Structure 1
Amino acid sequence: MYRGDDAVGLATARHLKKHVPDYVSVLEGSGNGVAFMESWKNADTVILIDAVHSGTKPGTIHRFDASAHPLPSEFFRYSTHTFGVAEIIELARTLNQLPSHLIVYGIEGKRFEAGIGISPEVNTAVQEVVNRLRQDIHSFLKVS
């Protein structure tokens, strides 16, 4: 995970796997847009985590309901992925391939240089997002 803070989604997924029931799928993606859309093809609820760069304090946690509204593309403009998360989601929306519920957590990054690990502020936010995700998962299971 030497993609700087852009690896925050992978780090969060790896922590989350230890804290969710077996019937919840936690997938790690490399940013391939087609693979993202394929992975949520039959899912009712998807929660996606990525680094953002909006100018707020590093480690700030943003939560968006992407099934209801487009993501603010300026938050997701810096990425080591082929396509940014906002672009992938809007492509899926255009193709009518969004899951019923799509929540996106954006964690404000500090360092995006290749070859370094996650900054301390972002690493702290990972733990908070894992806690919030556990609550989200519990809420969505009650609704379903």
Structure 2
Amino acid sequence: MNAHRAGRHLIIGIGSPFGDDQAGWRVIEHLQRMDLPPEVQLLSLDRPGPALIEQMQGYSSVILIDAVRTDQYPPGACLELTPEQLSGLDSLSTHGFGLAVVLRLASTLAQLPTRLRLFGLCMPTVPTPHAALSPEMRAGVLQLTQQLSATLNT
């Protein structure tokens, strides 16, 4: 464990440069413009796969934010998920080595942080082709940013 990170909190936005899959990155960008406690670190990752396990090492608390493909919820809806719930949605991951698989591996290796929170921003299973975030996803990003900011500053 990296002792210099102990007691620190990490928020990771996971994404890719494609349409609504940028949602995790956009939350991080909004948070970077806010006055957050100094123990909070922010990071954007492009489809990290198993490398995510190393990124989480040494942090007492990690929040992961990713777009999830699902038609069970409207586009832009923000869900706080358990790893088990994520597994049900992650079968349509846009990230080759899906987040649910990485978290199962981290759990098997006893490499999960003490506190792990997962937020999924819902995008349709058949995404519409666009370079930027859809209006629904932009609204979800802003809502989650405000929720996290309020939580981190209390």
Cα distance, 1:94–1:43 mapped onto 2, change above 3 Å: same
Retained in 2: the 8 A contact 1:2–1:115?
Answer: no
1:40 Cα shift?
0.8
Greater share of strand residues, 1 or 2? Answer: 2
1:50 Cα shift?
0.5
1-side partners of 2:153 and 2:106: how far apart? 26
Which one of 57, 60, 64 corresponds to residue 74 of structure 2? Answer: 57
2-side partners of 1:52 and 1:31: how far apart? 13
1:81 Cα shift?
1.8
Q: Residue 128 of structure 1 corresponds to which residue in structure 2?
A: 143
Retained in 1: the 8 A contact 2:37–2:152?
Answer: no
1-side partners of 2:129 and 2:96: how far apart? 15
Q: Residue 106 of structure 2 corresponds to which residue in structure 1?
A: 92
Q: Residue 142 of structure 1 corresponds to which residue in structure 2?
A: none
Deviation digits for residues 89-115 of structure 1, max 9, x if unmatched?
Answer: 111011100001110100111364676
- The residue type paired with residue 12 of structure 1 is V
2-side partners of 1:2 and 1:27: how far apart? 15
- The residue type paired with residue 53 of structure 1 is R
SS at match of 1:102: strand
**TM-score in terms of structure 2 length:** 0.78
Mapping of residues 1-144 of structure 1, within 5 Å = 2-19=17-34, 20-55=36-71, 56-66=73-83, 70-110=84-124, 112=127, 116-138=131-153
Retained in 2: the 8 A contact 1:33–1:88?
Answer: yes
**TM-score in terms of structure 1 length:** 0.83
1:65 Cα shift?
4.2
1:35 Cα shift?
2.3
- The residue type paired with residue 64 of structure 1 is L
SS at match of 1:6: helix
Q: Residue 4 of structure 2 corresponds to which residue in structure 1?
A: none
2-side partners of 1:98 and 1:113: how far apart? 34
RMSD across aligned positions (CA): 2.0
1-side partners of 2:65 and 2:145: how far apart? 10
2-side partners of 1:12 and 1:102: how far apart? 17
Cα distance, 1:38–1:61 mapped onto 2, change above 3 Å: same
Cα distance, 1:46–1:39 mapped onto 2, change above 3 Å: same
SS at match of 2:44: coil
